Amino acid sequence: MKYNFFFLLILLLPFGGLAAQNLQLHFDPRHTLYGDNVSSRNYMTATFEMFKPDKWGSTFMFVDFDFNIENGIGLAYAEIARDFKIGDFPLMPHIEYNGGLGIGFSIPNAYLAGASYNFQLGNFFMSTYVAYKLNAFAKTSHDVQWTVTWNANFCNDKLSLGGFMDVWTENKQTPLPDSNGKKIVFMSEPQFWYNITPQLAVGTEIELTYNFVNSFMESKFYAIPTLAAKWNF
């Protein structure tokens, strides 16, 4: 549910006044698929995304709200990223912040700085960046992250494919049996949308993760599809 509009930098930068926002609603069946080890219930997630290019670069942000407790929102998570243009130079400095809050806990802040690059591969508009990542754990974790995003439209814009892939390192956390050293985390969220109108779409997002869901447990791969609707503003 993040970076879905990052690819628009290529398309929209010449029109610096344009911006894009959408609101998504996802039904997440992770309890049905994996039981209490992953989640005590199925739940809804609401996501707001915003992408805004300007003559100096572009800004992207999103906020997720998980309705995973009986009385409402149990988790809020946000990311905001900025790319900076340097004339016609193809690489752009990239900075980013990630963090969130849950009931009785917080998601440690992460700060990233690196370089991004946009390109086209067939029908797909692509963006990638590599960044140094500081994870603000109890013991600070100095890491690296590689991200790729993509988007394409087919069938006269009735079908849209988008998504991202993240690979990063971070310190192992207790109470893992071997809590020393680093681990590699993988996360990808491909999305498939049928565009009923230019504003309204229905589809799915598939959360693919390794070493991410319930990361205090043993390493494991999860695939969690959602049923979703999206409104483009």
Residue 90 has pLDDT above 70, yes or no: yes
What the chain holds in terms of domains, given with CATH numbers, is: 8-232 (2.40.230.20)
pTM score, whole prediction: 0.87
pLDDT of residue 8: 38
**Residues present in the chain in total:** 233
Write down the pLDDT at residue 16: 39
Contacting residues for 111 by C-beta, under 8 A, at least 6 apart: 96, 97, 133, 134, 136
pLDDT band at 109 (very low <50, low <70, confident <90, very high): very high
| Degrees to nearest 5, angle at CA 54 with 156 and 187 | 65
Per the CB < 8 A criterion, the answer to whether 164 and 189 are in contact is yes
Tokens 């229905």 belong to 202
Q: Say if residues 13 and 53 touch (Cβ distance below 8 Å).
A: yes
- 3-state SS, residue 201: strand
DSSP bridge partners of 132: 113, 144
**Strand partners for 55:** none
- Is 11 in a helix, a strand, or coil? helix
Higher pLDDT, 151 or 173: 151
What is the band of 5 on the pLDDT scale with cuts at 50, 70, 90?
A: very low
pLDDT above 70 covers a percentage of the chain that reads 87
pLDDT digits (tens, 9 = 90+) for 164-210: 999 999 998 766 555 678 999 999 999 999 999 999 999 999 999 99
